[in-house]
């Protein structure tokens, strides 16, 4: 865990061994606005939009590959991400993959994204946020086709 401008960085979960695969943001997030996920058997890609402490909106590019289906989650004005959980492990193409990825908000649950039987010897991760904090962003590691690791930024309140 790292503390960066009142934001806690948790993770990553999965493999970070791919050369030049790190994906991260440079401006600390304050509020998550939307998340776009590409998925098939595993999490192929993620992109998201967030606001910073000055109210400016930032959108990441797509991190990962172009495979699978695409789903965009647009958070309502009073909706906050209160947890994420899923599985990671060997996918069969030389690196870890992420599946069964689920996003929990104070209003509903989105997912799971990716098929749990696609990972060999899966390991679980579960990041619940307590005391009115929220997940406000992501960082990831990817190869050319899919995400191999994922982590979150948490804004404590």
| Whether the predicted pLDDT of 55 surpasses 90 | yes
Pairwise CA distance, residues 101 & 74, whole Å = 17
Query: Whole-number mean pLDDT of the chain?
Result: 92
How do residues 115-157 score in pLDDT, each as one tens digit? 989 999 999 999 999 888 999 999 999 988 999 999 999 998 7
Pairwise CA distance, residues 89 & 96, whole Å = 5
DSSP per residue, 117-138: GGSEEEEEEEEE--TT-EEEEE
Name residue 73's beta-bridge partners.
35
Q: Against a cut of 0.95, is the pTM above it? A: no
Task: Match 């679980």 to its residue by tokens.
Answer: 124
In this prediction, residue 20 has a pLDDT band, given cuts at 50, 70 and 90, of low
Average pLDDT over residues 57-77: 96
Domains, the chain, in order of start with CATH, read 2-155 (2.100.10.30)
Q: Are strands 43-51 and 22-23 parallel, antiparallel or unpaired?
A: unpaired
Pairwise CA distance, residues 37 & 113, whole Å = 8
pLDDT number for residue 3? 41
């Amino acid at each position: 865990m790292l503390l960066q401008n009142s934001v806690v960085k948790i993770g990553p979960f999965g493999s970070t061994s791919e050369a030049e695969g790190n994906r991260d943001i440079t401006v600390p997030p304050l509020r998550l606005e939307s998340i776009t996920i590409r998925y098939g058997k595993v999490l192929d890609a993620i992109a998201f939009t967030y606001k910073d402490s000055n109210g400016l909106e930032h959108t990441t590019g797509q991190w990962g590959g172009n495979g699978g289906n695409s789903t965009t989650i647009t958070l309502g004005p009073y909706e906050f991400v209160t947890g994420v959980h899923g599985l990671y492990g060997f996918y069969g193409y030389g690196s870890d993959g992420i599946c069964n990825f689920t996003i929990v908000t104070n209003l509903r649950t989105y997912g799971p994204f990716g098929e749990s039987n696609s990972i060999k010897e899966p390991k679980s991760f579960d990041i619940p946020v307590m005391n009115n904090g929220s997940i406000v962003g992501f960082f990831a590691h990817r190869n050319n086709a899919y995400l191999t690791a994922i982590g979150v930024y948490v804004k404590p309140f």
